[in-house]
Structure 1
Amino acid sequence: MAKDAPSSHPASSNAELAQAQVSAFLAIAADAIISLDDRLRITLFNEGAATMFGYRPSEIMGQPLDILIPERMRSRHTRHVADFSASPIAARKMAERQEIFARRKDGSEFPAEASIAKQMIDGRKSYMVVLRDVTDRKLAEVALAAANTELEARVADRTRALEAEIRRREEAHAALIQAQRMEAFGQLTGGVAHDFNNLLTIITGNLELLGADPELGPKAAFLKRAADAADMGAALTKRLLTFARRRRLTPQVLDVNEMILNLTEILQRSLGEPIALTTMLAGNVGRTRADASELENAILNLAINARDAMPEGGNLVIESRNATARDAGIPGNGEFVLISVSDTGHGMSPAVLERAFEPFFTTKEPGRGTGLGLSTVYGFAEQSGGHASIESAPGRGTTVNLYLPRTEETTETKAGPAETVPLSKNSEVVLVVEDNPEVRELTLQRVEGLGYVALEAENGAAAIRILQSEDDIQVVLSDIVMAGGVSGYDVAHWVREHAPRIRVLLTTGYAAEETQPGTADVAILRKPYKRADLALALHEALQE
Structure 2
Amino acid sequence: MSQQAPSLDTHPRRLASPHARWRAADVAVGLSAVLLCVGLAYLLQAVVERYRNLVLGPMVPVLGAGSGLLLGLYLIRMRRLRQTAADNLQRVAESEARLAGIIRSSMEAIITVDSEQRVLLFNPMAESLFAWTAAEAIGRKLGDFIPQRFRAVHEEHVRRFGITGVSERQMGTQRTLRALRRDGSEFPIEASISQTSDRGGKLYTVMLRDTTERVRAEEALHRSREELEQLSDGILTAREEEKRRIARELHDDLGQRLSALKMDLAMLEADVAEGRNAAGLSKEIAAMHSVIDDTVASVRRIATDLRPALLDELGMVPAIEWLANDFSNRYGLAVSVVAEDDEVPEKVAVAAFRIVQEALSNVIRHADASRATVSIGSEGPMLRLEIHDDGTGWKERPAGDGQRKSLGLLGIRERARLLGGDVLVQSAPGEGFRLIVRFPREQGDRA
Q: Which has the higher strand share?
A: 1
User: After TM superposition, is the score higher than 0.5?
Assistant: no
Q: TM-score range by the shorter chain?
A: 0.3 to 0.5
Q: Which has the higher helix share?
A: 2
Q: Which TM-score applies when normalising by structure 2?
A: 0.42
